[in-house]
Structure 1
Amino acid sequence: MTQPAAAPTVRRVDAKQRYEIVVGGETVGLTAYRDRDDQRVFYHTEIDDAFAGQGLASLLVEQALTDVRNSGKRVVPVCAYVAKFLERHDEFADMADPVTPDVLRWLETELAH
C-alpha cells in the first residue's frame, strides 16, 4: 500500500525574505520578495522541476498573498508569475499596485546588496 503524499505547506521565512512551499519536509519552491514601505514587492517565483505541474506555485502565491493581505500591506507583482496570478484572481486585485520604473530601480538597488 502506497503512502499518501504529504500535504504541501507554505511558510513565510522573514530572514530570507521569501515564502517557501514544503512537501514532505522538503522545500520545493519559493516566492521571493522585498518590503518597500507598505508594499511587498514580489520579484521571483520558482518550483523544483520534480514538482512541476502539481499546482504548487498557485498554492504558494495564493497563500503568500493572503498573508500579505492579513498584514495590511500592498503587493507589487514584478514577478511575472505573481502578475499572471493576480490577473486570474480578482479577489486580490484590490491590493495590487503597479510596477513602476521607480519600483524597478529601487528593487535593483535592493538586490545588489
Structure 2
Amino acid sequence: MNQPPAALTVERRDDRHRYEILVDGERAGLTAFRDRGEQRVFYHTKIFDAFTGRGLAGQLVQQALTDVRAQGKRIVPVCPYVAKYLQKHDEFSDITDPVTPDVQRWLEGELA
C-alpha cells in the first residue's frame, strides 16, 4: 500500500531565529540563524532522528536561502551543513559572504 507523499512546509520563525521544516504539520528539523545587519548568519542545522534520510535538510536549507535572497539579505554559512550545501549549489554564490574571525566572535557573543 503506497502512502501519500508527505506535506512539507518550511516556516521562518523570527521569534526563534530559525527556519523550521514541517512534515504533515510535525516539526522535523530546523536551521538556526542570527541576523548581523544585512547578513543572515546560519550556525546550526538539525533534522530530528525520526525524519532523517529523507533529504529534508537540503529542502530546508534551499528554502531558507531562497527566503534570504527574497529579503535582500546575504548568507554567512557558519553551519557546516549550509557551507557544504553552498559548495554544491552555486546559485547562491552572489549573496554569500565568507565566515571571518570577526563574524565568529560576533556570533559567539550573540549565543553566549
CA RMSD of aligned residues (A): 1.0
Query: How high is the sequence identity, in percent, across the aligned residues?
Result: 70
Matched, 1:64 2:70: no
Following superposition of structure 1 onto structure 2, how do residues 1-113 of structure 1 map, counting pairs within 5 Å? Answer: 3-112=3-112
The TM-score with structure 1 as length reference comes to 0.95
Cα offset for 1:2? 5.3
Structure 2's unaligned 5+ residue stretches are none
| 8 A Cα contact 1:47 1:57, kept in partner | yes
Code of the aligned partner of 1:102: D
Q: How many residues align?
A: 112
Code of the aligned partner of 1:52: T
Code of the aligned partner of 2:100: T
| 8 A Cα contact 1:5 1:24, kept in partner | no
Structure 1's unaligned 5+ residue stretches are none
* Superposition misfits of 4+ residues, deviation over 4 angstroms: none
